[in-house]
Structure 1
Amino acid sequence: MTEALPPSALLMLLASLRDRALAADTLNALAFSIANDTFPLLSFRQALVFAQRGTGFELLCVSGLAKPTEDSPYLVWLRPASRWIGEQVADDQPAWLARDACQPPDDIADGWTEWWPAGAWCLPVHSKHGERLGLVVYLLDAAPDDRLPSLLQGLRSTWAYAWTALTGRQKRPRWRPTRRQLAVLGAIVALLLFLPVRQTALAPAEVVSRQAEIISSPIDGVIARMDVRPNQPVKAGTPLFQLDETTLRSRADVLQKEAAVADAELVAATQRSFDNPQSKNELTLLDARLQERRAELDGVRAQLERTRVMSPRAGVAVYSDPNDWIGKPVVTGERILRVADPAVPAMQIELPVADAIALEPGSQVTLYLAAYPLQPLHGTIIETSYEARPNDDGIVAYRLLASVDGSPAHARLGLHGTAKLYGGRVLLGYYLFRRPLAAFRAWTGL
């Protein structure tokens, strides 16, 4: 067909094919152009475009068909046939496969005889890095002209460029280390595993006071008001909160009247006892009843005196919000707030059991506060708990208390952050594989 075209017409046709390939916006559109637009150049029986998928091929387009039927006998036969053709085309050069010369397997030869002409001209499409992207197969009655591969070299490069751009398979050559380099790298990694490092752990922490006293409810009742605000400085004897006195005062009034009645009954019985000897037997009972009412009244009055809670020491009132407590029923011993000395700050650390490491009093601690990440607090552990308990988040953790070095102004009570705990020195391999090793032993029991 190329001999029938003048040189100028051939160049215009090749330029048109390149423009159509570059104008394709999808891979299927590019495959349609490759399979159909090249007919004036080759006059083929049929053109097939395959995409490389691992060791196999995926049929993208068949000339003259908009969408091939996937379950047709012809397409079923094309699957093994495309793999066999791909094995025959080993490099990036076009290859002419004649049915009589290449001797395909029997199952492929039978389908070739039924559906294909005498030969197939295969044009592999490779990226600039040598990766095969796809395969174009033209079914011809005779071998193409020897000059045709050189004429189509530029067109094949355009197909490969457009194919790479549409599939995003532009890859740089990968560096692959040699065996010697791998051995050296393995030796370096093995030596690094024996490098001694400091064992560390991270845990949530809060700034607290080392001298803090918990203020709890002295009796059962309802909180009527909070006399101090959160973080308010207080002195010894400063009122902290007030419990509601309504129930107790009503009870005191009733008991006072009952005691008065019992006292009157006792006086009347005493007067009757002078004339009636039998009334002397009632004196003991009435006196005991009077003493009981007076004892109850004294108890209620003592509770009334305890409804107003005073600060036992100077410090800062630490609690959440007054609105959370006003009107709330409380029981005896329920913690309401703390009176803490802000001049003696400390770190309260909750170390989860899963992250626990060997720590002793005197181990170093660094606290990175969320409010002051560039000004960490430094200190040492002074107390450790031997029993792990669930915290407010339900995480079982050990509670640690650490001191704060110096007197930093930003070490305010109630600030939270992340504490970094420093243990003893261990090998880097143990540091990296400590938790996987513990999990492995837990599962296997070794």
Structure 2
Amino acid sequence: MAIQISQDALRPKADISASALKLLQFEADIRRCSKRDELIFHLANQLSRLIPYDLAFVFEQGGRKRRHVLLSNNVAEIEKSSPLIYKLNQWASLDVSLNEAKPYPIKEVLGEEHDLPYECTYWQPIAAESGHGDSCLFVLLFSNFAYSEQQQALLSRLAETYEHAFRAIEAKPNKARLSRGKSRFLKLSFAAVLVAACAIPLPMSVMAPVQVIAKDPYIVTAPFNGVIKSINIAPNTYVDQGQTLLNFEDIQMRNEYLIELQRLAVAKANFEKTQGESFTSGEGKYQLNAVRAELSLALVETRYRREQLDRTQMKASRSGLVIYADKEALEGKAVQVGERILQVAQPGQIQYQIDLPSAQSMAFESGAKISIYLDSAPLGGHEAQLESVSYLPTVTQEGVASFTVLASPTVGKTPKIGARGTARIYAEHAPLIWHVLRRPVNTVRQWMGI
């Protein structure tokens, strides 16, 4: 009869004690600590899982070899002014030979007079001086019994594990300092580049609204006080010389002309009568000069009324493009003598009118470069040069006191008269920092009256 033996029965049994598993788990917990404070808290409060004690104090050694208490078990924060902490700090700092693990009588640590109900203490360096730096950790354990050799060996083993974790965490700030050093270098480099960039000379410039206007247009103004009867030419229409542009109401002018014609006829008849009587009567000779003067005056009045009547029909004195805003707004409008009605301009002869706010005014040279960005061509493509700047500012329709800047085109296709946009006027060169601070400085100076 064959005997079957399972494979599991042939495998050797792993004999791992519970204490070893507990130690491995404890060391794994230590390695999971990623921060210094977390590791110190674990040392003060979790060490009791393997080493029995009643009270634990974690010490740190800083500069001048002075050691002080960092943390105690079951306490969130150390009261540095308490007598116990003062005695512990004094004892740990005076005794410079505490780099070895060793039990100490409690009377040697706290003196003859103390009120702690413990008999033994054990001093265990965790991260002592060993060429790794000046930062060191120690732990002082209080208990009512002395530790055995096995417990001391276990403490030594755990101290090595804590030291390894502590040194690993302590090394991380070095990378941080290196990163901070690089960051500081980059910041200084950026600051140096920024300072150098602030000294770069750039042309100063201002932006202002611009409009395309006709150059040297023929301005049609009202020859007398009257009412516009009709506009014969549509806006933006080309007219020939002598073509009728508009008509005024002529009823009054025509009636006055007819009256003057009647007066002229009466004056002529009176003159002929007096002239005939002057041959036969001496009195007629004396009246002849007065009647002749009345006839001359009637002729002048008649010519004047005729000229006024002819002016009710205004004609183009030259060929060109008729420019005005709205036909309906002009027809039936009462105008005063000299008031502008429309203008006749040459389509190819244009210039730019820029309304420069007085708050942005600066010194411009004749012929200064101007970039034009019309609404119909926002990417630019038009250049001009400065011709003149008005001496005094005027208030625009928007209520802004502005200087009138006239510029002639130099580059780009001739835009349509009436087109609007934005112009950039370039002035003298100045450092970049002044471009940034010019307006704030001017505002502060105006506010402070400097």
Common fold by TM > 0.5 = yes
Measured against aligned partners, the alpha-carbon deviations of 1:90-123 in whole angstroms (never above 9, x if no partner) come to: xxx999xxxxxxxxxxxxxxxxxxxxxxxxxxxx
Residue 425 of structure 2 is aligned with which of 402, 421, 428?
421
Deviations 1:218-240 (A, max 9, x none): 33322221121111012222222
Aligned to 2:10: none
Task: Say which of 279, 292, 295 aligns to 1:290.
Answer: 295
Matched with 1:232 is 237
Match of 2:434 among 426, 430, 437: 430
Per the TM alignment, residue 436 of structure 1 is displaced from its structure 2 partner at its CA by 2.5
1:379 aligns with 2:384: yes
Q: Is the 8 A contact 2:218 2:343 kept in 1?
A: yes
Instruction: Establish whether residue 401 from structure 1 lines up as the match of residue 430 from structure 2.
Output: no
Q: Is the 8 A contact 2:203 2:428 kept in 1?
A: yes
Change (3 A) 1:334 1:194: same
Measured against aligned partners, the alpha-carbon deviations of 1:402-424 in whole angstroms (never above 9, x if no partner) come to: 22234526x11101111111222
The answer to whether structure 1 residue 213 and structure 2 residue 218 are counterparts is yes
What is the identity, as a one-letter code, of the residue corresponding to 2:273? Answer: A
**Residues 362, 222 of structure 1: alpha-carbon distance in 2 compared, 3 angstrom cutoff:** same
Partner secondary structure for residue 410 of structure 2: coil
Say which of 202, 205, 214 aligns to 2:207. Answer: 202
CA distance in 1, matches of 2:211, 2:295: 55
Q: Which amino acid aligns with 2:401?
A: V
Q: 1:315 aligns with which of 320, 323, 338?
A: 320
Aligned to 1:229, the other structure's residue is in SS state coil
Q: What is aligned with 2:368? A: 363
1:106-125 equivalence runs, <5 A: none
Task: Say whether the 8 Å CA contact 2:381–2:412 is kept in structure 1.
Answer: no
Give, in angstroms, the shift of residue 194 of structure 1: 2.2
1:189 Cα deviation from its structure 2 partner = 4.6
Aligned amino acid, residue 425 of structure 2 = L
Q: Secondary structure at the match of 2:247?
A: strand
1:44-66 Cα shifts (integer Å, max 9, x gaps)? xxxxxxxxxxxxxxxxxxxxxxx
Assess, with a 3 A threshold, how the Cα gap between structure 1 residues 94 and 414 changes in structure 2: closer, same or farther: farther
Compute the displacement of 1:182 (Å): 7.2
CA separation in 2, counterparts of 1:374 and 1:94? 71
Distance 1:400 1:262, change over 3 A: same
Instruction: Note the alpha carbon deviations across 1:8-56, whole angstroms, 9 max, x for none.
Output: xxxxxxxxxxxxxxxxxxxxxxxxxxxxxxxxxxxxxxxxxxxxxxxxx
Q: Quick one: which amino acid aligns to residue 213 of structure 1?
A: Y
Q: Report the AA paired with residue 260 of structure 1.
A: A
228 and 94 in structure 1: CA distance in 2 versus 1, 3 angstrom threshold: farther
Change (3 A) 1:443 1:276: same
**Native 8 Å contact 1:369 1:376 kept in 2:** no
Matched, 1:222 2:227: yes
User: Does the CA contact (< 8 Å) of 1:220 and 1:332 recur in 2?
Assistant: yes
Structure 1 position 429, deviation (Å): 1.9
1:249 lines up with 2:249 in the alignment: no
| Residue 313 to residue 268, structure 1, CA distance change in 2 (3 Å) | closer
CA separation of 1:276 and 1:314: change in aligned 2, threshold 3 A: closer
Paired with 1:270 and 1:306, the residues of 2 have a C-alpha distance of 36
Q: Would you say 1:350 and 2:355 are equivalent positions?
A: yes
Q: Which has the larger radius of gyration?
A: 2
1:249 touches 1:304 (CA, 8 Å); kept in 2? yes
Number of positions where the alignment pairs a residue of Structure 1 with one of Structure 2 = 275
Give CA deviations for 1:342-368 in whole Å, capped at 9, x if unaligned. Answer: 223322111111111222222221221
For 1:55-134, what aligned pairs fall within 5 Å after superposition? none
1:8 matched residue in structure 2: none
8 Å CA contact retained: 1:219, 1:307: no
CA–CA separation in structure 2 for the residues paired with 1:342 and 1:273:
65
- Compute the RMSD of aligned alpha carbons: 3.1
Which residue of 326, 341, 346 maps to 2:346? 341
The alpha-carbon distance between structure 1 residues 208 and 385, as it changes in their structure 2 partners (threshold 3 A), is same
**Structure 1 letter corresponding to 2:262:** K
TM-score (norm 2): 0.55
> What is the deviation of 1:184?
6.5
Distance change >3 Å, CA 269–CA 210, structure 1 → 2? closer
* Counterparts in 2 of 1:220 and 1:392: CA distance versus 1, 3 Å: same
Give SS of 1:320's match.
Answer: coil
Partner amino acid, structure 2, of 1:343: G
Shift of 1:300: 1.1
Structure 2 CA distance for aligned equivalents of residues 94 and 231 of structure 1: 93
CA deviation profile, 1:304-332 (whole Å, cap 9, x unmatched): 22322222222211110111111222233
**Contact kept in structure 1, 2:384 and 2:408, CA below 8 Å:** yes
What are structure 1's unaligned runs of at least 5 residues?
Answer: 1-92, 96-175
Inter-partner Cα distance in structure 2 for 1:343 and 1:352 = 28
- What is the CA-CA distance between 1:183 and the residue it aligns to? 6.7
CA contact (8 A) 2:208 2:356 kept: yes
Query: Contact 1:196/1:425 (CA < 8 Å) preserved in 2?
Result: yes
Partners of 1:186 and 1:338 in 2: CA distance: 58
Aligned-partner residue type, residue 430 of structure 1: W
| Structure 1, 234-243 or 319-328: larger mean CA deviation | 234-243
Alignment partner for residue 331 of structure 2, among 326, 346, 350? 326
Work out whether residues 318 and 337 of structure 1, in 8 Å CA contact, stay in contact via their aligned partners in 2.
yes
Given that 2:205 and 2:425 are in contact with CA atoms closer than 8 Å, whether structure 1 keeps it comes out as: yes
- How far apart, CA to CA, are the structure 1 residues paired with 2:383 and 2:230? 39
**In 1, Cα distance between the equivalents of 2:408 and 2:360?**
21
Task: Give, in whole Å, the separation in 1 of the partners of 2:368 and 2:258.
Answer: 60
